[in-house]
Amino acid sequence: MIKLFLKILQTQKNIISKKSIDAEKTEIVVLGQKIKKQIQRLFQGSLAIRQVDAGSDNACEQELVALSNAFYDIERFGIHFVASPKHADMLMVTGPVTRNMAVALRRAYEATPEPKIIVAVGDDAIDGGIFKESYAVCGGVDKVIPVHYGIPGDPPSPKTILTHLLHILEIH
């Protein structure tokens, strides 16, 4: 048992220091404040996002859900996820589009009011990822609906998603 504890203690980077967590929190707050400023400029206070799972493995969804936890808390920056595309300013689509989800994705796209921003989240959504040659997949989101932006990663981390979201809002 002692050998196990010694191995754990000798392994590099197995303990996250409070200092590194505080530094990460500071980066997130600074990033969030920049996002909040852009949201105020473009949307007068809040950005409504509808997330659509077009056939993913749920990795990207877990990262998007993490954005709502106590560490990231994106609601404080004016971002919230909505249940209906009719209330959304942005569609974030995850996963390669399966043949079964193509019609539902088109309907969500059509229900989203103009002007709308469409974002493919993750490598699978961008080009089909490892599923692109599958008979059950249409391919990336752009094969079914127009896509304005892509956030690469397999899956992208919450911080990566926020960084790309800021970039998207800055160029709009």
Is the Cβ–Cβ distance between 125 and 56 less than 8 Å?
Answer: yes
- How many domains is the chain built from? 1
Q: The tokens 């490598």 sit on which residue?
A: 123
C-alpha 67/C-alpha 159 separation (Å) is: 8
Phi first, then psi, for residue 109 (nearest 5°) are -60, -45
pLDDT per residue over 96-131, tens digit each? 999 999 999 999 999 999 999 999 999 999 999 888
CATH number of the domain bearing residue 138? 3.40.50.12280
C-alpha 118/C-alpha 112 separation (Å) is: 10
User: pTM of the entire structure?
Assistant: 0.88
Q: Would you say residue 80 lies in a domain?
A: yes
Q: Would you say residue 22 lies in a domain?
A: no
Q: Would you say residue 105 lies in a domain?
A: yes
CB atoms closer than 10 angstroms to residue 156: 21
pLDDT per residue over 15-62, tens digit each? 777 888 888 889 999 999 999 999 999 998 899 999 999 999 999 999
Is the Cβ–Cβ distance between 51 and 64 less than 8 Å?
Answer: yes
Which residue range forms the structural domain that includes residue 103?
46-171
